Amino acid sequence: MKAFDDGRNGLPKHIFYLDDGRTVTENVSVPAGARLTITVAGDVTGLPPSLHSAQLVSTDSLPFIAEQSVYDATLTTGYARAGLAQ
């Protein structure tokens, strides 16, 4: 995730929707112009190893760009997607 460099910190909220119907929510702070990497396998408290989807929401109306990278267990095969929050 990359916050735009306008001098303000971004405060995005991450919502993970688990395949059993539960949700896990995490709030983070991203310094202006900084890049933040979240490894869902270890960085998100309460997120079990499972299938899930994610929603990233700007809680302070600041724009950000997010990228999703997915790798196999050996980290030799993967793909990525990028999106701009509007």
- Domain span at 27: 2-84
Q: Provide the token pair at 68.
A: 């999703």
Q: Would the pTM of this model clear 0.75, i.e. be above it?
A: no
Quote the percentage of the chain above a pLDDT of 90. 13
Instruction: Tell the residue number behind the tokens 């896990």, with chain if given.
Output: 24
pLDDT digits (tens, 9 = 90+) for 19-57: 999 999 988 888 877 888 888 777 888 888 888 888 888
Nearest in space to 67 (alpha carbons), one of 27, 35, 26, 28: 35
* pLDDT at residue 59, as a whole number: 80
pLDDT at position 2 over 60: no
Quote the percentage of the chain above a pLDDT of 70. 84
Domain count across the chain: 1
